Amino acid sequence: MATSARARRRARGRAKDEASFRTKFPGHLIVVTPPILCCSEPGKLRGVLDFLESLASIVMGATSPVVMDMRHCQKVDPAACVLLESQIQRCEATYGTKFEFQLPKDGRTKFTLAIFGVAGDERYQPDQLRQFAAHIMRVTSGAKGEPSPGERTFEIARLAELLADPTVADRVHGALNEAADNVLSWAYGANSSNPSERWWVAGILSPKHGATFIALDRGVGIPATAPKNLGDSLQGAMAVLRRDRLWTDLSVPPADWQVLWATIRQKRTLSRLDERGKGLTNMVELIDKFQSGRIVILSGDAIYNYEVKPDAPEPKEHCGPLGYRFPGTMVIWWLEADKRKAKLRNVD
């Protein structure tokens, strides 16, 4: 069957584009990203994690600079931006990798990468991005030995002031701060000094979609650390699982989702200090302060979901196996205020 003239023109265009791309990055190791980088869509998270794992394997022994070929990336969401930035930083710290980017052709995807600080575009001048500064907290990270994450997470909490009263904004700050502090205390071990062991936070406010806040670490995960860090408190919560017949075969260690489920329900740490050990509980209860909202916690082979809707009589809550291992812990909040009361304004 003969090839049409239109198809031949397209093929020549693609060949010319590819030649131009190769000329722009001579001697580079090229890594092609998937067309969809989304964590919020069902079935997409696994693809993002598989790509990030392959990225680390590719650059491990590379001596050439790496170009991230994102030309055909059609969609990226905030959580994927956090995961991508975390992997880039880890590769830079561990292997000394130098990254460059061939940005997406899709304008919205390109803009999302720019405003979250993952990959810039010279066509977006600082003044153009600054107009969104009051509604965006770009991906920010910290490590052990640095100042408390409180100051940085406060920048994200300021976004909540646009949606609700200052009291709720304080709760957002407390939850994010607790998530980052938990990384410093638990996720990477007390004596670790690996420069790639960091925490990451980001946030965005949209008049149409409310607020999204994200906290990430790349540690061993809550199910691995909770049993030795929560002691008797966690044992009491595990007893509730047995009572409710959510853990019936006691000859088999509890699954990751069972430990996560019990951890969320425990109220006090082994230290018996009221102000500690309620981080996950506070994060979940934060959703109840809004008209509607949702929290998703991914850790180990476990996923927890808690959702509140204005038309639902009761919150929807579920904890179960993820089906694969999440490398660390990620907490995502989606919060929506009453739009009649939302103060979508700039923060001075």
- Whether residue 171 sits in one domain with residue 302: yes
Q: Answer yes or no: do 127 and 138 share one domain.
A: no
Question: Sheet holding 66-69: strands in order across?
Answer: 29-32, 66-69, 99-102
Contacts for 54 with CB less than 8 Å, ≥ 6 apart: none
Same domain, 155 and 123: no
Whether 263 shows a pLDDT value over 60: the answer reads yes
| β-strands 198-206, 136-143 pairing | antiparallel
pLDDT higher than threshold 60 for residue 269: no
Q: Which residue has the tokens 């292997």?
A: 95
Domain that holds residue 247: 133-348
Question: What average pLDDT score do residues 230-256 get?
Answer: 62
Question: Which residue among 81, 100, 131 closes a domain?
Answer: 131
Higher-confidence residue of 47 and 190: namely: 47
Task: Identify the CA nearest to 212 among candidates 276, 116, 123, 144.
Answer: 116
Question: Do 113 and 8 belong together in one domain?
Answer: yes
For the chain, how many structural domains are there in total?
2
Give the whole-number percent of the chain exceeding pLDDT 90.
22
Q: Are residues 118 and 217 in the same domain?
A: no
Residues whose CB falls within 8 Å of the CB of residue 173, separated by 6 or more in sequence, listed in order: 150, 153, 154, 156, 157, 160
Asked if residue 251 and residue 124 are part of one domain, the reply reads no
What was the pLDDT predicted at 266?
Answer: 66
What is the spatial order of strands in the sheet that 326-336 belongs to?
136-143, 198-206, 210-217, 326-336, 292-300, 303-308, 316-320
Please give the Cα distance from 234 to 236 (Å, whole number). Answer: 5
Residues 3 and 85 in one domain: yes
pLDDT winner (highest mean) among 88-102, 247-261, 272-286: 88-102
Any residues with CB less than 8 A from the CB of 304 and at least 6 apart, and which?
A: 257, 260, 261, 264, 295, 296, 297, 318, 319
Whichever domain contains 204, its CATH number is: 3.30.565.10
Given 131, 150, 173, which residue is the final one in a domain? Answer: 131
* CATH number reported for the structural domain that contains residue 44 in this entry: 3.30.750
Give residue-wise pLDDT tens across range 198-235.
Answer: 888 888 877 666 788 888 988 888 887 776 555 555 56
Span 111-153, pLDDT tens digits? 889 889 898 755 555 555 556 656 788 888 887 666 666 666 7
Residues 344 and 199 in one domain: yes
Strands 75-76 and 36-37: parallel
- Domain identity same for 49 and 183: no
Query: 167 and 54, same structural domain?
Result: no
Tell me if residue 283 falls in helix, strand or coil: helix
The answer on 153 and 53 residing in a single domain is no
Question: CA 86 to CA 80: how far, in whole Å?
Answer: 10
Task: Tell whether 118 and 258 lie within a shared domain.
Answer: no
Q: How far is CA 13 from CA 18, 26, 88, 277, 330, in A?
A: 9, 20, 31, 59, 41
- Of 75, 106, 131, which residue sits at a domain end? 131
Mean model confidence pLDDT for the chain = 77
- Measured between alpha carbons, how far is residue 279 from residues 190, 216, 220, 300 in Å? 19, 14, 17, 18
- Least confident piece of the model among 6-20, 47-61, 62-76, 206-220: 6-20
Residue 23 has pLDDT above 60, yes or no: yes
